[in-house]
Structure 1
Amino acid sequence: MQQQSAGRGLRIAAWVLAPLGLVLVLGAVGGIVLGGGLDGERFTVRGEAMRPTYSPGERLTVMQVGEGEIRRGDVVLVSVPGRYGNAPVVQRVIGLGGDHVESRDGTRVLVNGKEIDEPYVMRDKFAPAGAPTYDVTVPEGRLFLLGDHRANANDSRYFLSEQSGSVAASDVRGRVQDESAMSLWPLALGAFGALLTLVGVGLGIGGYVAGRRPGARMR
């Protein structure tokens, strides 16, 4: 009797785990087919301003983000009226509204008096002769943006007469996503689903065998 109950329990677990695993596998396949689950604006990098982080010709996925969700260090796609021929550009958020941003030597950047760590900046061509210095307070509702390739980026440093070089947070079209990380979730989901399916099948077989044993039947 105990063996019969155990066999029934194993079969019930199999009926739950195997279909769930199959659903997860199908979801992972769908995510891969649809581009890793990313559903946003696609943008092609055209210039050198964001090297080495992003190179010309690289395709990026940009997801919409609320103005209040923008953080320092984010890479954003902006369309600034009157700049860059009104074409969208990708730049990095250095300062938010109210931040004091300065660079006294054109290289090191301080935000609110603290030098920030910038491992993303291209160092071999970091600061050409005559790199602009600046000492600004970012107006509320606006952002101070820089390119990662400081020697070849036409960013907030060159528009200081226009509200301290800042751009309106409302000009942000979206945040650039880390696709290398995002693209891993379908694979992980598929592997987990396949594992659940195998476990479910194994439990089903075990339950069937337990239920068929002579000792599992009442005499």
Structure 2
Amino acid sequence: MVDYQKVNVRGENMRPTYEHGDTAWFSMGADSENFEVSRGDVVLVSVPEWVPDELVLLRVVAFGGDRIEYRRGESTLRLNGEPLDEPYILDRSVPSPITFDVTVPEHRIFLLGDNRNNSADSSMHLLGQDQGTVHISAVRGEGVRRPTDYIVVGGAAVSGAVMCVVGGGLGVWALMLRRRRPDPVLPAWPAA
């Protein structure tokens, strides 16, 4: 069974996707569980070197083996040499406040906030051997739509099953009532 957790968003780093005070929903896992995240997914990560004692809400931009780069003056980041379409960022004309060129090591991810000018993300931690990347095991939760969407779909399925049972029962009851009625008596002589 999937464990959902709601998180109250603090800060401005994921604007416009999440505003300060919004509620975000995540499917949660054990500390060492590896999630099957994809590029573009919003995740909760534990990065004590960046933010002690808190989970950080960021977006996965690149995986191990990917090359992610930004050159001042360009209108997009480049992922493996190709422009990266990011419709979710706050200011699309400035996809990063600093330049970088990182080849992500295996089993690691490069994370950015959607409000690039106000986000303590991988681009702000480029110094060091890991160049701002985070081990994939740091992921604690994957962003999902509100679980109420799943509850509504499940509720509709259950309601449909109940309606089928009730409808079938009413149909059987109607047949039984019909059998109880005596057949009409027809006159013995032919009608003229």
TM-score band, normalised by shorter chain: 0.7 to 0.9
Give the alignment partner of residue 161 of structure 1, picking from 127, 133, 150.
127
1:150 paired with 2:116, answer yes
1:212 paired with 2:180, answer yes
Question: 1:137, CA displacement in angstroms?
Answer: 0.5
Do the aligned residues in 2 keep the contact of 1:67 with 1:169 (CA within 8 Å)? yes
Give the alignment partner of residue 43 of structure 1, picking from 2, 7, 13.
7
| Cα pair distance change 1:68/1:117, threshold 3 Å | same
Structure with the higher fraction of residues in strand conformation? 2
- Post-superposition Cα deviations, 1:40-74, rounded to whole Å, max 9, x if no partner, equal 33322111111111122223332235426121111
200-209 vs 74-83, which moves further: 200-209
Do the aligned residues in 2 keep the contact of 1:138 with 1:166 (CA within 8 Å)? yes
- Residue 64 of structure 1 corresponds to which residue in structure 2? 28
Identity of aligned residues (%): 37
Q: State the distance in 2 between where 1:183 and 1:56 align.
A: 26
TM-score, normalising length from structure 1? 0.70
Q: State the distance in 2 between where 1:210 and 1:63 align.
A: 53
Q: State the distance in 2 between where 1:213 and 1:103 align.
A: 83
Question: 1:207, CA displacement in angstroms?
Answer: 2.6
Amino acid at match of 1:184: V
Do the aligned residues in 2 keep the contact of 1:38 with 1:61 (CA within 8 Å)? no
Between the two structures, name the one with larger relative contact order (CA 8 Å, sep ≥ 6).
Answer: 1
Give the alignment partner of residue 84 of structure 1, picking from 51, 63, 67.
51
Q: State the distance in 2 between where 1:164 and 1:175 align.
A: 23
TM-score, normalising length from structure 2? 0.79
Q: Tell me, what secondary structure is at the counterpart of 1:117?
A: coil
Q: State the distance in 2 between where 1:121 and 1:112 align.
A: 20
Question: 1:93, CA displacement in angstroms?
Answer: 0.4
- Post-superposition Cα deviations, 1:150-189, rounded to whole Å, max 9, x if no partner, equal 2221111111113121111111111122116334324422
Amino acid at match of 1:164: Q
Q: Please identify the structure whose Cα radius of gyration is greater.
A: 2
- Residue 15 of structure 1 corresponds to which residue in structure 2? none
Give the alignment partner of residue 102 of structure 2, picking from 136, 140, 143.
136
Q: Tell me, what secondary structure is at the counterpart of 1:208?
A: helix
- Post-superposition Cα deviations, 1:112-136, rounded to whole Å, max 9, x if no partner, equal 1222222221237x639x8112111
Q: 5+ residue gaps in structure 2? A: 184-192
Amino acid at match of 1:172: V
Amino acid at match of 1:139: P
- Counting matched residue pairs gives 177
Q: Tell me, what secondary structure is at the counterpart of 1:195?
A: helix
Structure with the higher fraction of residues in helix conformation? 1
Q: State the distance in 2 between where 1:38 and 1:170 align.
A: 18
Do the aligned residues in 2 keep the contact of 1:77 with 1:90 (CA within 8 Å)? yes
- Residue 66 of structure 2 corresponds to which residue in structure 1? 99
Question: 1:194, CA displacement in angstroms?
Answer: 4.4
Amino acid at match of 2:174: G
| Cα pair distance change 1:109/1:211, threshold 3 Å | farther
| Cα pair distance change 1:68/1:77, threshold 3 Å | closer
